[in-house]
Amino acid sequence: MKRELPRILTLVTGVFLALQYFVPHRASATVYETLMDWLIIVGIFAILLGIAGLVRLHSGKIRSRQTNWPFSIVLLAGLFGMIFLGFWGQDLGSPFVTAYFQVLNPVQATMFAMLAFYIASAAYRAFRGRTLLATILLLSAVIVMLGRVPLGELLWPPVTIGSLRIPGVGEISDWLVNVPNLAAKRAIFVGLGLGGAATALKVILGIEAPHLRG
């Protein structure tokens, strides 16, 4: 029963939610919204489990003086400090909001800013014309990058020779993004949609339930 009951619940709920999509009646929408509310409530309890696991993990590290255990103190101090400040007050100008905007936001922005340098290093490694496909990738990347900056239009503007018009890098870049690239994206979208539906079907029918084995 330990495995059968979850499978039955999954089957009933999965079939109901799949059919609910086709039923616009208010009764159906009400049940759907209730299920979504339950999901949020379960998620809140799951957060408590997550926090409990986090506290247990790091307090164990502090107790046993594992490598880098002082960072566990910083983590727990930040966790409980923000919880305490949050209970104290969440108005604009309160310590909680000040800590959020003066500490967390700049740190998040720093991580996001590093992305530019990571892109540069990944591009340096990946865009090497060793094979035909890699060369095409390299040229496409150069054209699209140039087409996105004003300098590209200066370096490669549209040129008209008699009745022949050679498009500029901006137009070629737009064509690359909007035609072959978009075609490939749509093809992947179709595959993803069908794959997702098949995966959901496998879980609903109980063909695949990795958390219910053993």
C-beta closer to another protein: residue 168 or 204: 204
**Shortest distance in whole angstroms from residue 125 CB to another protein:** 7
DSSP 149: S
CB 190 within 8 A of CB 164: no
Query: Which lies closer to another protein via its Cβ, residue 39 or residue 149?
Result: 39
d(CA 198, CA 209): 14
- Strand, coil or helix: what is 206? coil
Rounded to the nearest whole angstrom, what is the least distance from the CB of residue 47 to another protein in the complex? Answer: 5
If the CB atoms of residues 150 and 211 are measured against another protein, the closer one turns out to be 211
Q: Smallest gap, in angstroms, from Cβ of residue 124 to another protein?
A: 10
- Residues of this chain that interact with another protein (CB under 8 A) are 18, 21-29, 39, 42-43, 46-51, 53-54, 57, 60, 67-68, 104, 107-108, 111-112, 114-115, 118-119, 121-123, 125-126, 185, 188-192, 194-203, 205, 207-208, 210-214
Instruction: Please spell the DSSP secondary structure of 78-146, one letter per residue.
Output: HHHHHHHHHHH--STTSHHHHHIIIIIHHHHHHHHHHHHHHHHHHHHHH---SSHHHHHHHHHHHHHHH
CB of residue 27 vs another protein: minimum separation in angstroms? 7
Q: In the bound complex, what is the minimum distance in angstroms from residue 156's beta carbon to another protein?
A: 23
Residue 14, C-beta contacts closer than 8 angstroms, at least 6 positions apart: 200, 203, 204
Tell me how far, at minimum, the Cβ of 139 lies from another protein, in Å. Answer: 15
Instruction: For 207, list phi and psi in degrees, rounded to 5.
Output: -65, -35
Return the percent helix, strand and coil in the chain, to nearest 5. Answer: 80, 5, 20
Nearer of residues 36 and 155 to another protein, judged by Cβ: 36
Which residue's CB is nearer to another protein, number 54 or number 142? 54
| Residue closer to another protein (CB basis): 17 or 171 | 17
